[in-house]
Amino acid sequence: MKLPTTPSFRLDNKTALITGASSGLGLGCAVALAEAGAHVVLAARNSKNLNQAVDAINEKKLSAEMMVLDVLNVSSMTKLIEEKGPFDILVNSAGLGRHSPSIDTPVEDFDEVMSVNLRGAYFVTQAVAKGLIKSKKPGSLVNISSQMGHVGGIDRAVYSASKHAVEGFTKAMAIEWGAHQIRVNTICPTFIRTPLTQSTFDNPARKKWIEEKIKLGRVGEVEDVMGAAVFLASEASSMITGSALMIDGGWTAD
């Protein structure tokens, strides 16, 4: 009997662009892809943190470099990606939240969240895809979305709207670019413990709400997302596109 062969999770000879890579989920995904053999390009606005992250990855005898990139400046971002690409893999992790009751949402908060989470993510994905199509290369593009791209949440109307939109354009791009063998998917984490989310966990009422909703009984850690990034970037997921990978501890199972 001839047994099937497990597809490889390795990313050797691949180049990956990770936005929002100076900390948190972006940094975790960069480390995971580098450990799987990819050359990782860490992109963010904070050059000091980027330098430290790249140095730490290279000290592990992995391959990394930095790219100072502002996703809000679409023209310069597009030009830089065109010059440095093509990238076989994208992990779009740049994002922010401005949480408040929806009745009190300031226009400025709405515009800022949408500019980064939606507009920035959309045009970074577009720029990487253009490079792949021009080079006639396949690729895997991963947008870090959220469980809030599938449900609503207290004080998170704007954030949830931005992530629902990410889910929508991801599916549409997957349909359009499938003929080019470019896969587009999302990763949808629950609340992940990072310095940026610590204020939420410091609020007893919010912490109680989160713990009640997560069926596994614990909040997420950066490490919980790293394996998913490698899976979606690799040939192990070669038939997956236009999909959302939930890493929510059962939050959306209700």
Q: How far apart are CA 11 and CA 36, in angstroms?
A: 5
Q: What is the pLDDT along the chain (254 residues), one digit of tens a residue?
A: 999 999 999 999 999 999 999 999 999 999 999 999 999 999 999 888 999 999 999 999 999 999 999 999 999 999 999 999 899 999 999 988 888 899 999 999 999 999 999 999 999 999 999 999 999 999 999 999 999 999 998 899 999 999 999 999 999 999 999 999 999 999 999 999 887 788 788 888 888 888 889 999 888 999 999 999 999 999 999 999 999 999 999 999 98
Locate all alpha helices (DSSP H) within 60-156, ordered by sequence.
74-84, 107-113, 121-135
Edge to edge, the sheet with strand 15-19 lists 64-68, 39-44, 15-19, 89-92, 139-144, 182-189, 244-247
Q: How far apart are CA 167 and CA 181, in angstroms?
A: 19
Q: How far apart are CA 197 and CA 215, in angstroms?
A: 20
Domains along the chain with CATH numbers: 15-194+221-243 (3.40.50.720)
Contact 140, 237 (CB under 8 A): yes
With the C-alpha atoms ordered 20, 22, 23, 28, is the resulting torsion angle positive or negative?
positive
Active-site choice (87, 159, 231, 251): 159
pLDDT confidence of residue 225? 97
Residue 122 is a catalytic residue: no
Strand partners for 15 = 39
Residue 118 DSSP symbol = I
